[in-house]
Chains A and B, each alone.
Chain A
Amino acid sequence: MLVLENVHTHYGKIEALHGVSVEVKKGEIVSLIGANGAGKTTLLMTVCGSPQASSGRVILEGRDITNEPTSQIMRSGIAIVPEGRRVFSGLTVEENLHMGGFFNTKAEIRKSQDHVYDLFPRLKEREHQRAGTMSGGEQQMLAIGRALMSKPRMIILDEPSLGLAPIVIQQIFEIIGQLREEGITVFLVEQNAHQALNLADRGYVLETGRIRLHDTGKNLLANPDVRNAYLGG
């Protein structure tokens, strides 16, 4: 579904990714874990074309998207939930969702909206409330719901657990598991390594711009190096 081949990404002269290769297969949940500054977000942004990879290739469903503009990539069956939620705080929940289905027809929007409300009944309750007035967990639900509005075949989540209470994190991860059952491929970037690896089919460990380890989620959880570095021993 999504393949990164030996991708290098630069911010100006600084190289943030030193030849990263990652593959996400259809229907999988793949987790990418790593410490602060390892390049996790950079990797995601490279997939979205902002910044674009300076060398290597990014292939989405067999199509080379390395040099396509962001707006083009984001309209081709892939959706991202950006780090820190970034909901439109002045808009209501419903309006936020409609923004997510910006390029769809009205009928499609209505259908995906109902679907999102099924997934997150809490959002239905808050339909006409301004997004900025909701709690962090609700905003995260809204951010995921908004990404789902474009009916993506693949969804990328950047640190969905950031700054949330443990019980809310639990709910969010349950929803992510539910997405897989609906046939949506999930690429998950997390600092919360335990939860992320538990849920994932496969996982990658990113360290200072390089992939250090690559294995199934269960094996990575058992790996002593990973336990030491990310799971607190």
Chain B
Amino acid sequence: MAAQNLKHALFCAFITIIIAYPILGLNLVAEGTSVKLEGANTATVVNVFLAAVAVFLFQVFRDNIMGVFGKVPNLNPLANRGPVSQEKRLLMERVFFVAIILLALVWPFIVSRGAVDLATLVLIYIMLALGLNVVVGLAGLLDLGYVAFYAVGAYTFALLSQYFGISFWLALPIGALLAALFGFVLGFPVLRLRGDYLAIVTLGFGEIIRILLNNWTSLTGGPNGIGGIPDPTLFGMEFGRRVKEEGNVSFHETFGIAYSGEHKVIFLYLIALVLAIFTLLVIRRFMRMPVGRAWEALREDEIAARSLGMSRTAVKLSAFTIGAFFAGFAGTVFASKQGFISPESFVFLESAIILAIVVLGGMGSQVGVILAAIAVTILPELAREFSEYRMLIFGAAMVLMMVWRPQGLLPMRRIQIEIKEQG
């Protein structure tokens, strides 16, 4: 055991040097037209070796260190809590939702513009995560290309406004329906697939959409993206300083208040909030309808579900379609918020982050997913002062999270155990 640990530790230290030395210890210096390789100063090299020693020591005493970590979960106040009764849990959930919605409503009026902007982004991620939660958390279909539907929603709005001058409110349902159609179409080839194979196909689909957007320059503008996407209007009132479209009036003139750039930001936030609540309620409804139970049954045991007469085709397609619909929603809001979109916004990392939100939040649990969406969006912002190390901190937080709470922040609970006295 000890010998094995030592061997493993040596190997890890060696890998650390191999990785760290070329990156930190060697510098490329431009001299005229040629590039020269130079060793970095001694302090850096020493640091690299110190890091290797640290890795070595950690690996040698890994069992002891992890043993100490293993005792930490007692810090978690929720860890040893007994099961809560069904009514109490429902009540708690309702109180939580009402509190968070109230907070969300007053939020834009008490904080800075930047915070409102960030909150809008959080809401977009909440919509995305709630949508993906249907596919991954409830139906148990691992979808790694979810960002494709997000892109479809965003590009639908961008293209429609660019070529046909269609407004946000009309584009919103069109974008969502088109994304749902894409979800439906993707559903067909993946019907027979499960687990890893499904993940690979959806991953491929996500890339296809992104690469298509990147290369179809004549339509989508390729890597240059599409700019000048209009802001949403409120019953024909625009939020810009000057009215862009004929027949519209501006918001600040109608109400006789001074122009402020904040109005638009707050309005977008409120739209995102309303749509996020809509998403939440609709999916909640679906979860309690037979189709929601069918998703769960299919996730739990496909053969058993089919033996009860459920159609695998219908159940899987409905999950994909509904999940994609809400991604289209989020995409339209995103396009409107940014005013400019390019394929850059829809890379695989986005899919991974949305999936991470669902997993961190606890598969299938809506409260958990909302909390995780807030955490995952805000954490990198908070960690901004650590500049280049912020992704490192983000990653470390996720690893620790998975060590301590592998079931997610607030896992979906179906606990209904009633211990009856033996008589």
The residues of A with any CB-CB pair to B shorter than 8 Å are: 48, 50, 69-71, 73-75, 79-82, 86-92, 95, 98-100, 102-103, 125, 128-130, 146-147, 150
Which residues B13-34 have CB closer than 8 A to chain A? none
Stretch at the interface among B156-164, B292-300, B392-400: B292-300
Query: What residue of chain B has the Cβ atom nearest to residue A125's Cβ?
Result: B420
Q: Are B290 and A102 in contact (CB under 8 A)?
A: yes
Seed contacts A71-B312, A82-B303, A91-B414; 19 additional CB < 8 Å A-B pairs: A48-B307, A70-B311, A70-B312, A71-B313, A73-B309, A74-B306, A74-B307, A74-B309, A79-B307, A80-B307, A81-B307, A87-B301, A90-B414, A91-B297, A99-B297, A99-B305, A102-B293, A102-B308, A130-B416
Q: Please, which residues of chain B bring their CB within 8 A of the CB of A89? A: 300-301
Residue B304 lies at the interface, judged by CB distance under 8 Å to chain A: yes
Q: Choose from A91, A95, A130, A150 the contact partner of B308 (Cβ within 8 Å).
A: A150
Q: Are B310 and A102 in contact (CB under 8 A)?
A: yes
Q: Are A102 and B300 in contact (CB under 8 A)?
A: no
Residue B418 lies at the interface, judged by CB distance under 8 Å to chain A: yes
In the complex, A138→B304 CA distance in Å?
17
Residue B1 lies at the interface, judged by CB distance under 8 Å to chain A: no
Q: Are B416 and A99 in contact (CB under 8 A)?
A: no
Most buried by A among B296, B306, B313: B306
In the complex, A74→B305 CA distance in Å?
10
Query: What residue of chain B has the Cβ atom nearest to residue A103's Cβ?
Result: B309
**Nearest Cβ on chain A to B149's Cβ, whole angstroms:** 27
Which residues B290-336 have CB closer than 8 A to chain A? 290, 293-294, 296-297, 300-301, 303-314
Residue B417 lies at the interface, judged by CB distance under 8 Å to chain A: yes
Q: Choose from A75, A90, A95 the contact partner of B309 (Cβ within 8 Å).
A: A75
Given A82-B303, A102-B290, A92 and B308 touching (CB < 8 A)?
no
State the main secondary structure of chain B at its contact with A. helix
Q: Are B312 and A87 in contact (CB under 8 A)?
A: no
Q: Please, which residues of chain B bring their CB within 8 A of the CB of A129? A: 416-418
Q: Please, which residues of chain A bring their CB within 8 A of the CB of B303? A: 82, 86
Q: Choose from B300, B306, B307, B420 the contact partner of A90 (Cβ within 8 Å).
A: B300
Q: Are B306 and A88 in contact (CB under 8 A)?
A: no
In the complex, A91→B293 CA distance in Å?
10
Q: Are B301 and A69 in contact (CB under 8 A)?
A: no
Q: Are A70 and B308 in contact (CB under 8 A)?
A: no
Q: Please, which residues of chain A bring their CB within 8 A of the CB of B310? A: 71, 102
**Nearest Cβ on chain B to A212's Cβ, whole angstroms:** 28
In the complex, A79→B414 CA distance in Å?
27
In the complex, A159→B311 CA distance in Å?
24
Q: Are A71 and B311 in contact (CB under 8 A)?
A: yes
In the complex, A69→B309 CA distance in Å?
10
Q: Please, which residues of chain B bring their CB within 8 A of the CB of A50? A: 306
Most buried by A among B294, B308, B310, B414: B308
Q: Choose from A70, A87, A91, A103 the contact partner of B306 (Cβ within 8 Å).
A: A70
In the complex, A106→B303 CA distance in Å?
24
**Nearest Cβ on chain B to A216's Cβ, whole angstroms:** 29
Query: What residue of chain A has the Cβ atom nearest to residue B297's Cβ?
Result: A99
In the complex, A163→B283 CA distance in Å?
40
A sample of 18 cross-chain residue pairs with beta-carbon separation below 8 angstroms, ordered by A number, consists of: A48-B307, A70-B306, A70-B312, A71-B313, A75-B309, A80-B307, A81-B307, A82-B303, A82-B307, A86-B301, A86-B307, A88-B304, A91-B297, A92-B414, A102-B294, A102-B309, A125-B420, A130-B416
Q: Are A82 and B304 in contact (CB under 8 A)?
A: yes
Most buried by A among B290, B294, B304, B417: B304
